[in-house]
Amino acid sequence: MKTVSLDKKIPEGPILKIDDLTIFRSGKLVLKDINLSINKGEFVGLVGPNGSGKSTLLLSILGVLKSQKGNIKIYDSSPMSRKLHGKIGWVSQAAANLPRDVRITVRELVHLGTLNAKNLFFLSNDTRHQKVNKAIKMVGLQDYENIDVARLSGGQRQRAVIARALATEAEFILLDEPLVGMDRDARNSLLKLLDQLCHDSGKTILMVSHDLTAIRQTAHRMIFLEETISFDGPNEDFPELERLADLRGIRPVHEEDHNHSKSHIKGEE
């Protein structure tokens, strides 16, 4: 597993620690007995089928959804704690899908990441300017900073919304399906950026994706979620399709038909 050295200013131990988490939504069990931890500098890919609870898990980590059982700690604090202010960056599925009639440049969008209730009147313009410049440079959009976001490609828009999260100086970044709608080059470029953020900037990333191949080739670690966690480990140990189907309880129906036919023929004999 790839890791980066720990920053001395950050307490030892996992950035994220989840113990025995269970969540019901509209009376339906969505997550059951979730246990996991994520350390500083890891790029973790969270995969699973539609409706498996991936987005629910992210929203629980953010504190938007409350659990019926279990415990979540981020930097040893509960979700929504004031101590976490500015430490968590969130990029939702819809973050890059801005309406075409919204006129906002890349720089203006990233600048929004520097604004919050605590610093609205106290952070100097020079400090904000520096944060915006740094975030735009980290995602490689210096040549596009004064262009309307609506004119960017899908991959560039995704970089812009990640830059907005980085402008908060977030240390732990959560992304929900950032690869949707991207062509191959844009997807590969974004994945390389995320890997660099972990290695070069000490960021920690938890990313939800349906793209098993991309995650397996890029993330440092994979988690397969379907109500509960059935795999959590290094990419090279992630099960092949047949083993994955077995983990999900999916049986080869054609094999059953074949066996039934063989039994029927044997009975006739």
Bridge partner list, 19: 71
Q: Which residue has the higher pLDDT, 211 or 123?
A: 211
pLDDT of residue 3: 42
3-state secondary structure of 42: coil
Q: What angle do CA 139, 144, 149 make, to 5 degrees?
A: 90
Q: Note the pTM of the prediction, 2 decimals.
A: 0.79
pLDDT of residue 204: 95
pLDDT of residue 1: 40
H or E segment and range at residue 225: strand 221-226
pLDDT of residue 229: 94
Residue with structure tokens 């931890």? 37
pLDDT of residue 51: 87
Nearest to 47 by CA among 206, 160, 254: 206
pLDDT of residue 33: 95
* H helices, E strands: number in the chain: 8, 9
* Distance (Å, whole) CA 264 – CA 269: 9
pLDDT of residue 61: 95
Amino acid at 63: G
For residue range 61-112, list pLDDT tens digits in order.
999 998 889 999 999 999 989 888 888 999 887 666 666 667 899 999 999 8
* Distance (Å, whole) CA 139 – CA 149: 14
What mean pLDDT do residues 31-45 have? 95
Amino acid at 240: E
Q: Per-residue confidence at 259, pLDDT binned at 50, 70, 90?
A: low
Best mean pLDDT range from 112-121, 127-136, 240-249? 127-136
Radius of gyration of the CA atoms of the chain, in A: 21
pLDDT of residue 10: 41
Nearest to 215 by CA among 252, 241, 243, 187: 187
Using the predicted structure, report yes or no on whether residue 264 has a pLDDT greater than 90.
Answer: no
Beta carbons of 13 and 175 less than 8 angstroms apart: no
Beta carbons of 169 and 115 less than 8 angstroms apart: no
What mean pLDDT do residues 173-196 have? 87
For residue range 191-241, list pLDDT tens digits in order.
998 999 999 989 999 999 888 888 888 899 999 999 999 999 998 888 876
Beta carbons of 233 and 67 less than 8 angstroms apart: no
HSE toward the beta carbon, residue 112, CA cutoff 13 A = 12
Using the predicted structure, report yes or no on whether residue 122 has a pLDDT greater than 80.
Answer: no
Q: How far is CA 88 from CA 6, 156, 161, 253, in A?
A: 17, 22, 14, 45
Q: Which two tokens stand for residue 181?
A: 């709608």
Which residues, 6 or more positions from 177, have their beta carbon under 8 angstroms from its beta carbon?
93, 208, 209, 210
Q: Per-residue confidence at 4, pLDDT binned at 50, 70, 90?
A: very low
Q: Which two tokens stand for residue 85?
A: 């202010």
* Distance (Å, whole) CA 209 – CA 43: 13
HSE toward the beta carbon, residue 245, CA cutoff 13 A = 6
Instruction: Domains for the chain: give ranges and CATH numbers.
Output: 16-268 (3.40.50.300)
pLDDT of residue 99: 67
Q: Which two tokens stand for residue 62?
A: 């953010």
